[in-house]
Amino acid sequence: METGWLCVAMRWGISVLGAFVLASVLVDGVRAALAIGGGVVLRGAARLCGATCRRLCSVLGDRAAALVLRLSGPVSLALVLLAWLTGWQLGTCALGAHLPMALPVELAVVGHVTLVVLFGIHVAGTGAAWRARERGAAPFGDDLAAEDVLAAFLDTGGRDRLDRTMVGWAEWLAEVRAAHRSWPVLLHSPPAQPPGWIDAAVVMLDVAALAEALAPNWAPPHTTRVLVIGRDCVRDALVAAGTTPPGVPISLHGREDRAFEDTVRLLADAGLRIDRDPGDAWADFQSRRTCYAPAASALADRLGHSRLRHAH
């Protein structure tokens, strides 16, 4: 008698566990399709593929490493679909421990179709987010320096045009930040060709930081917004990639061959009215730049973007 009750309890327990697995998989799929923060499976697959790619790239040449990095996103997505379908199949089998046999079979078929549809929606969203990220970074070509960008605005349209452009930069940075949370695989999907979104973000932030440091009375209203949103975008991505921003007193990341005195001279010649002594301006610029540039450099290394640059 006790054995009979124990068997019934075990079957019920297995069925409840199966129902929990099915609900978890379905919720994960719906969250992925609706881009609500990325589910557990999505984040796990992105981190697993990211860690695996880093280890492979550490022993491969630049071209082979670039190929591995480009495969990271598709492989992550394939793992997500495989995990969903496997979880759903196991859940239906467990649920069938106390249900008529026909129901789990029908449930498995309907569930697999539903999950494939949700997966397709998520893949389409990831692709659209990747293209939007690429479009925002496209105007910033290789080796484009912030002082050259700022000088160009001084020649054509001045402060008002730069402010309108900064509104677009702030919106793009906010979209990139939100996209990396909504589509976790996107963070580990490299740019089509270097320089990518990280380099573009640093140039945008450097333009804003230079304007605030050298000409605070002239700086457009949206410089602060660009600096705050851009800093959070880069630092959040670095944390999502599995590390923390380094703390450094001075940042020359990406500007090792550009003396600040030359930057001041170039912008003054372009027509910028310098409001600060160069020494004070340098200190102000560094107080802003150390909040994002070291994190951006660490993120580029973490995601392997520097290997992509070498491969090209």
**116 compared with 93, residue with greater pLDDT:** 116
At 101 the pLDDT is 56
How far is CA 133 from each of CA 127, 169, 197, 206, rounded to the nearest angstrom?
10, 11, 7, 19
Using only C-alpha atoms, what is the Rg of the chain? Answer: 25
Q: How far apart are CA 223 and CA 214, in angstroms?
A: 13
φ and ψ at 284, to 5 degrees?
Answer: -65, -45
Please write the tens of the pLDDT for every residue from 183-214: 999 998 888 877 789 999 999 999 999 999 99
Tokens representing residue 22 in the block: 């099915």
**Collapsed DSSP state (helix, strand, coil) of residue 280:** helix
pTM: 0.87
**Every domain of the chain and the residues it spans:** 8-125, 129-311
Please write the tens of the pLDDT for every residue from 258-285: 889 999 999 999 888 898 898 999 999 9
pLDDT at 28 over 80: yes
pLDDT at 99 over 80: no
DSSP per position, 136-205: HHTTS-TT--HHHHHHHHHHTTHHHHHHHHHHHHHHHHHHHHHHHHH-HHHHTS--SSSS-HHHHHHHHH
